[in-house]
Amino acid sequence: MEINIRTMLEKDLPDCLAIWLAANLSAHDFIAKSYWHDHLAQVAEALPQSQVFCAFWEERLCGFAGMTNDNYLAGIFVAETMQCQSIGSKLINFLKERFSTINLAVYQKNQRAQKFYYRHGFVKKGENIDETTGELEFQLCWRRNQPVFD
């Protein structure tokens, strides 16, 4: 499966928002659905202000990753019908080629995402309570050429 990755264009925003909402509702069943719906407009404003990289398969947007200016990965989101096709891995590897450090937060209850990031060389740097959801989240970091035991 050939996946092409490019910077998000304005025309991609509606598809990115649909993927963002569906992925969050699916991955975070421990957070009220209204939380994600209530934050959709905020995400619509934030995405164009970030570095967003979109993955395409057969010219269909099937996932994206959003980075902020401080090397913070706001998330990797893959369309539900395209999950388990290595799209998330292709996006994270794309980012690792372009950034020497990547930081992110992942909810403690999102075991699937934790396994994904640990498998890709991220290490836990700390934890805190997300003020908006009240959920415990882990701070993870990846650095190019970091020792295995950091």
CATH superfamily of 4-143: Gcn5-related N-acetyltransferase (GNAT) (3.40.630.30)
Helix (H) or strand (E) holding 140, with range, is: strand 136-143
Q: What DSSP assignment string belongs to 55-80? A: EEETTEEEEEEEE-TTSBEEEEEE-G
pLDDT for residue 39 is more than 80: yes
Residue type, 148: V
| Boundaries of every domain in the chain | 4-143
pLDDT in tens, 86-106: 899 999 999 999 999 999 999
pTM, two decimal places? 0.89
Percent of the chain with pLDDT over 70: 97
